[in-house]
Amino acid sequence: MAKLKPPQSIKGMHDILPAEQVFWQFIYQKATELFADYGFEKIDTPVVEAATLFWQAVGQDTDIVDKEMYVFKTGGDEELALRPENTASIARAFIEHGMQVLPQPVKLWYWGPMFRHDQPQAGRYRQFFQSGLELLGDGHPAADAEVIFVALGFLQSLGLKKLCLKINSLGDEHCRPVYLKLLKDFLKNRSRYLCATCRLRQKTSPLRVLDCKVENCREVGKEAPQLLDHLDERCREHFKKVIEFLDEIKAPYTLDPFLVRGLNYYTHTVFEISLEEKGEEKDQKFGPALVAGGRYNGLISLLGGPSTPAVGWAAGIERIISVLKQQTVKIPENRPPSKIFIAQLGDLGKKKSLVLFEEFRQAGLLPSISLGRDSIKAQLRVANRLEVKLALIIGQKEALDGTVIVREMHSGIQEVVSLEEIIATVKKKLKVIKSTFHHEDGLEMSPKNEK
Ligand code: AMP
């Protein structure tokens, strides 16, 4: 029979292996603590939603809807989608659960996988995790500043450095259409300089021309009228206040008139946080965005809910992990390493050691154990590698006698202890070892030997 090709994960989708989990747990824990401190409550929404939710919310002529959604039909001919982002789902949940009757603002945070059928490359996957905040029911510019402040605090709490906030205003339903007409007219006369994609986009989503990375399009963009100069009084005032709040909280930011974001629901403030990159290409001062978001005052009413101003952001967890590694941020150990190791010989020894393991675990002293290995020598090698202080050995004789050999790893001194006294003896010995300390050269010395 022909040998089967070994199965592989799908392009752009990855396993998160045990060695990586320390990063994921670290970020999740920081998110949980920090977001709760700022009064955000966790919400989980399903990964599958009606496709129309995203068609309506994210909007046509966006990359997500046009090219990147995983849409499928069920037996009943329902069109469903794997969520490409979570703001639409949260807006749906807000409406569905009548959250407008709750004290406003409603402050929510989330964590979970998103799916976009994009071209996989570094920092761009087809399944990736986002964690984000949504603050619903508050239209004040202070809310924009608050969520930005939490985003910066989140990244800083992870130990990330050289963060850079770019910010812009996209106006609202009153002033943006007037500006879009101006921009379309401007682009029409320069169509021949644009890349093929932008030549199509200039009519349907002209703002996207401004964030095109193709050199010619960037040159055209630089000459284009800027939305910031065409905001109406209300939008200008909103943006000015956001900036004033950011000044007050001393958040470093750059005004970026080319920041437009690829989702249609944004109004007023949009922002991205990335890393400052040195020695970069011309005009490319920033790395890929770690966090991106903005205000979306029209989304909930667009989906049929009550008119509700809202603002939020999403952080890309894989990208954050890649920067944590790049900046060699030290991740604190989640649980202290074991101080004791249980080694055993034979079936009876294994049985006894399992019981002992549980007794120690319940006593708050989690041991390490390696049941698969038979030779005591091999097990002690593992104990050495784990740098435990004590090895508890249950050989065949000890298993029958109801005793344990307690071996001090640093001196090799051994003592036979009865099972009844083992926990108390180990606690006492660990205390004594703790009162000694490690000299800089790694030798363990007792305080009395100190010069
Ligand atoms: P967006 O939902 O497009 O505003 O993206 C918000 C954040 O999610 C970005 O700043 C990235 O950090 C992350 N992100 C977006 N798309 C991807 C992707 N395809 N792969 C990995 N991370 C992504």
Residue 205 contacts residue 153 (beta carbons within 8 Å): no
Q: Which helix (H) or strand (E) holds 274?
A: strand 267-275
Least confident of 17-21, 38-42, 185-189, 416-420: 185-189
Residue 142 contacts residue 150 (beta carbons within 8 Å): no
Q: Does residue 105 have a cis bond before it (omega within 30 degrees)?
A: yes
Rg (CA), the chain: 29
Average pLDDT of the chain is: 91
Q: Kindly tell me if the per-residue pLDDT of 441 is higher than 90.
A: no
User: Under 8 Å CB-to-CB from 437, ≥6 apart: which residues?
Assistant: 444, 445, 447
Question: What pairs with residue 130 in β-bridges?
Answer: 112, 316
Spell out which residues line ligand 1, taking CB within 6 angstroms: 85, 116, 118, 123-125, 128, 130, 289-292, 314, 316, 318-319
Chain-centre distance for alpha carbon 270: 20
Write down how long the chain is.
451
> Using one digit for the tens of pLDDT, what is the confidence trace for 111-141?
999 999 999 998 899 999 999 999 999 999 9
How much is the pTM? 0.87
Say how far apart CA 66 and CA 60 lie, in whole Å: 7
Candidate from 130, 260, 317 with most ligand 1 atoms within 8 A of CB, to mutate: 130
Let me know the angle formed at the C-alpha of 375 by 372 and 379, rounded to the nearest 5 degrees: 70
Residue 70 contacts residue 118 (beta carbons within 8 Å): no
Over range 411-418, report the average pLDDT.
95
- 115 CA to middle of ligand 1, Å? 10
The two structure tokens encoding residue 65: 């809807």
Report DSSP letters for 180-206, one per residue. HHHHHHHHHTTGGGS-HHHHHHHHH-T
Q: Kindly tell me if the per-residue pLDDT of 256 is higher than 60.
A: yes
Over range 279-290, report the average pLDDT.
63
* Atom of ligand 1 minimally distant from the CA of 273: 10
Over range 431-448, report the average pLDDT.
56
- 112 CA to middle of ligand 1, Å? 12
Q: Kindly tell me if the per-residue pLDDT of 394 is higher than 90.
A: yes
Say how far apart CA 29 and CA 446 lie, in whole Å: 37
- 36 CA to middle of ligand 1, Å? 23
Say how far apart CA 260 and CA 229 lie, in whole Å: 15
Candidate from 124, 211, 271, 320 with most ligand 1 atoms within 8 A of CB, to mutate: 124
Say how far apart CA 31 and CA 130 lie, in whole Å: 11
Q: Kindly tell me if the per-residue pLDDT of 296 is higher than 50.
A: yes
Sign of CA dihedral 82, 86, 88, 94: positive
- 148 CA to middle of ligand 1, Å? 17
